[in-house]
Amino acid sequence: MPNRIIREGILTSPRIAKLAWPEEVFYRRLHSVVDDFGRYYADLGLLRAGCYPRQLTKVSDSDIGKWLCACEDAALVRVYPAQDGERYLEVLNFGQQVRAKKSKFPDPLSICAADATQPPADEHLDVSVSVSVCEDVKAASQPAVPAFVLPQWIPSDTWAAYCKVRAGKKAKNEPHALGLIVKDLEGFRAAGHDPVTVLNNSIKSGWAGVFEPKTKPSAVGVTVPSAPGRDPALQKLDDDARLTKGPSLEMLARMAELRKPKLGAH
C-alpha cells in the first residue's frame, strides 16, 4: 500500500480554498488512489468506486463529475485523453516521492507549453501522514460516463471550429465550461433560435461565448400543407358567383311567352 505525504501547506492553499467541502474531500481522497505520478482513471464510475468504496450508495457518478470539474477549475487536477482512447486524470504538483520509474497510466497525447508550465506548488512543508489505500477495490460495473457529452443536435465539425476559436481567445475548453455553453444553446433553442446559427455567429465574430440573436425567431420557410381538393375559399367564390348569375336565355324566353296576352282574354 502506498504512503502519501500530505503537506500542511494544503491548509493555506488559495486553490484549495476555492473548493466546497465535498469537493475538497474528493480532492484529498484522490491522493489515496492515484499512482506515484498522480495519475488515475477519469472514468466517473471507477473514481466513485476507488474513492468511496464504502459509500457507493451515498455518492453518485453525477457527484463525482461535479467535484472533478471543480478541481479542474481550481487548477488542481487536469483530465487528458491518452493514446488508448481512454481519459485519465493527473493531480497537478503532486510532489510525492516517486518510487516507480514509469506511471501505471499512459501519458497524455500531447503536452503543450501551457500544460507544462503549472503554477508553483504551495504544499511543500515536511509534514507527512501515512495513508492506507485499499488496492482491492474493483470498479463498479457501469459504463463509462464522460464528464461532457456533445448533444446530437450540435454538429461536431461546427463545435470543433467553435472550440478552436475559444482556444485562440485563451478560453479553457474544460468540461464544466463547455457544459455551460451547451446550456445557453439549449435555452436559445427553446426560444426558437437555431443553435448552429448561434455558433456560426460566434465563429465568424471571434467570440469565446455564445449570445442570443437580437432578432426574433423567423417563421419564414415554414409551410403548412393544404388539405386535399379545391381550396375552400376559392370554392365559396364559385358558389357565390353561381347564386348571383342572371337567368339563362331559355328562362328569359319562357318568361316572355308567359307575358303575352292569351286570345279571347278580356
CA distance from start to end of the chain: 138
Residue 235 has pLDDT above 80, yes or no: no
For residues 170 and 83, membership in a common domain is answered with: no
Last residue within a domain, chosen from 87, 116, 145: 116
- pLDDT band at 234; cut points 50, 70, 90: confident
For residues 27 and 80, membership in a common domain is answered with: yes
Strand partners, 87: 81
d(CA 43, CA 41): 5
Q: What does the angle CA 160 – CA 166 – CA 169 come to, to the nearest 5 degrees? A: 150
Find the CATH number of the domain harbouring 86: 1.10.10.10
Inter-residue contact 131 to 4 (CB < 8 Å): yes
Residue 22 counted as domain residue? yes
Residue 104 counted as domain residue? yes
φ, ψ at 183 (rounded to 5°): -60, -40
Residue 111 counted as domain residue? yes
For residues 111 and 161, membership in a common domain is answered with: no
- pLDDT band at 22; cut points 50, 70, 90: very high
For residues 162 and 112, membership in a common domain is answered with: no
Q: Identify the residue whose cell numbers are 485562440.
A: 168
Q: Rounded to two decimals, what is the model's pTM?
A: 0.41
Residue 212 counted as domain residue? no
Complete DSSP assignment for 100-117: -SS-SSPPBS---HHHHS
- Tell me: the pLDDT tens digits for 78-131? 999 888 888 999 998 877 656 666 777 787 765 443 444 444 444 433 333 333
Last residue within a domain, chosen from 169, 190, 205: 205
Inter-residue contact 148 to 175 (CB < 8 Å): yes
**In angstroms, how far is CA 18 from the centroid of its own chain?**
24
Per the structure, how many domains does the chain have?
A: 2
HSE-CB at 75 with a 13 A cutoff on CA atoms is 14
Q: Note the pLDDT of residue 50.
A: 94
Higher-confidence residue: 124 or 253? 253
Residue 214 has pLDDT above 90, yes or no: no
Q: Which residue range forms the structural domain that includes residue 185? A: 156-205
Q: Note the pLDDT of residue 264.
A: 59
Residue 168 counted as domain residue? yes
- Name the 3-class secondary structure at 87: strand
Average pLDDT on 196-201 reads 92
Residue 142 counted as domain residue? no
- Name the 3-class secondary structure at 2: coil
> How many CB atoms lie under 10 A from the CB of residue 65?
20
**In angstroms, how far is CA 151 from the centroid of its own chain?**
6
